[in-house]
Structure 1
Amino acid sequence: MIEIDGVSYGYGTTPVLRDVSLSLPKGGVTALIGPNGAGKSTLLSLMGRLLPLQSGRVRFDGLDVARTPSETLALKLAVLRQETVLGTRLTVEDLVAFGRYPHCRGRPGEADRQAVAAAIEQFELGSLAGRFLDELSGGQRQRAFVAMTFAQATDYLLLDEPLNNLDITFARSLMRRLRSLADEHGRTIVVVLHDINYAAAWADRIVALKDGALVVEGEPEAVFRPDVLAAIYGVPIEVTRHQGRLAALYHWE
């Protein structure tokens, strides 16, 4: 279980998050949605200890993020930043292997090599395994970074806008894989998404933020209502169903 209790954060006198509290059960996919500047990425960064907590507490299965040793926390959760920049020339296989560092401390064994191979296969990167990252498209690099977090083999995956740079085909494929990781591998996935239709189609729970505050959380049916979405995004949004799945239709004028 993820417990977020009274978390606030700001830069100087500018608040980014305001007293956010929620509990997320273990298992499944949770999508964080909201307009630009809502605080989604900041909340995820605080959950993953990429930013220091200023107030409040975050716990994963009882482990306090602010107090748990990094070596222990790295075996509990994996984090994919929104901006993934590496200064060295690495192959895809090298990058994915970084996900095993919390387990092997730089001395990989057979189990680590098998985990890397499984991650490469899971994300269809076999033909790219020996390629350097700077030779890949943005979407291919993004898949490689997600594969790295998968190889870390943690109970929790925190992904900040993993659909960036992905076309429709690979975005849908990635969401299917995240769904599979939750259903078949028992992972708990928290993902920041800009496209709310992906959230409705693949997430078990949706957490909506606006202006740094929690607006609503719950199953997609509870969030995907015209009045709720209009309050979050400030524009009229029609809710319908397509092939049995909830979908939002935007009014362009």
Structure 2
Amino acid sequence: MSLDLDSVRFAYRRHRVLEDVSLSVEEGRFCALLGPNGSGKSTLAKIVARVLRPESGSVSFGGRDLLAAPRREHARVVAYVPQSGEAPFDQSVRDAVLLGRTPHIGLRPSRLDREVVDRAIDQLGLTDLRDRQLSQLSGGQAQRVLIARALAQEPKVLLLDEPTSALDLRYQIETLQIVRAVTRTQGVTALIAIHDLNHAAHFCDQAVLLHGGRIVADGPPSRAYDPQVLSSVYGLDVRVNSGEGGVVEVRPSVLEPTTVGANGTDGP
């Protein structure tokens, strides 16, 4: 099975954000959505999550129309982790993660539901915080709670909108390792909107580069990371170092100051 988007278009009033975007992500693949701010990464994730409705186009998984599916059915397939780690109301970490079981719970949480919740909490390193209130957590800890909640949902498709932006380096790496492990061991299809090209190259199977609302590159990072394309998209010289295993490092050139002279005054 695969997640398939076909000719998706979207605009915020008169501002065109996505223009005929089509892509396919196979089951069990970890796909990075890349591009500068405003390129449409987050918008694309929100459309699959049904936070936003496209003007036209289709979104399906395994041939099932995700845009027309009943909400509960959609929630059994798709889990979404938004950018912000702030909770709309206060509750314990355990109760917040338990919300991920909502599409599966009958009259009350079962033993299996609680086991899934505890496993997700342990996966994200939140075991010692499980009884703490969300208001007592840092932004990074709260973001990890949202990821644990999504994993507890046991989705077929996992969407993450810049989930590592509030995390320190250690938790960035651990979070990406967890998502990669979930895709490979559980066959989950994952899409992550992310800015870090090196992290995407190291952890993701597929890289989709967006620019001006269109896909300008799509494939494994070793193929999608064309230096000329990256340089054009990001507006600076980008170098890609590759090895036998693919992309090793992406290095942008250092921008030289052009408006400040050596004595600290404005220069020519």
State the TM bucket, normalised to the shorter chain.
over 0.9
2-structure distance, mates of 1:39, 1:135: 33
Corresponding residue for 1:248?
Answer: 250
1:166-177 correspondence runs (5 A): 166-177=167-178
User: Gaps (5+ residues) in structure 1?
Assistant: none
CA distance in 2, matches of 1:93, 1:162: 20
Secondary structure at 2:164 match in 1: coil
Find the counterpart in structure 2 of residue 134 from structure 1. 135
Partner of 2:261: none
Q: 1:108 to 1:83 in 2, by over 3 A?
A: same
Which residue matches 2:116?
A: 115
Query: Does the alignment pair 1:151 with 2:144?
Result: no
Output the CA distance in 1 between the equivalents of 2:235 and 2:107: 49
Instruction: Report Cα offsets for 1:23-71 as digits up to 9, x if no partner.
Output: 2211120000000000000011111111112111111111212211111
The 10-residue stretch of structure 1 (45-54 or 76-85) with the greater mean CA deviation from structure 2: 76-85
**Partner amino acid, structure 2, of 1:155:** K
Larger radius of gyration: 2
Deviates more, 1:120-129 or 1:222-231: 222-231
1:198: which partner in 2? 199
Determine helix, strand or coil for the equivalent of 1:116.
Answer: helix
CA distance in 2, matches of 1:110, 1:220: 41
Q: 1:192 to 1:106 in 2, by over 3 A?
A: farther
5+ unaligned residues in a row in structure 2: which ranges?
256-268
Q: C-alpha deviations, 1:99-135, integer Å up to 9, x for none?
A: 0010005610101000001101111110010111111
| Residue pair 1:4, 1:59 contacting (<8 A) in 2 also | yes
Distance in 2 separating the partners of 1:3 and 1:214: 14
RMSD over aligned Cα atoms: 1.5
TM-score (norm 1): 0.96
For residues 152 and 128 of structure 1, the distance between their equivalents in structure 2, rounded to whole angstroms, comes to 20
2:84: which partner in 1? 83
Give, in whole Å, the separation in 1 of the partners of 2:43 and 2:173. Answer: 25
TM-score scaled by length of structure 2: 0.91
Displacement after TM superposition at 1:225 (Å): 2.5
Partner letter of residue 86 of structure 1?
A: A
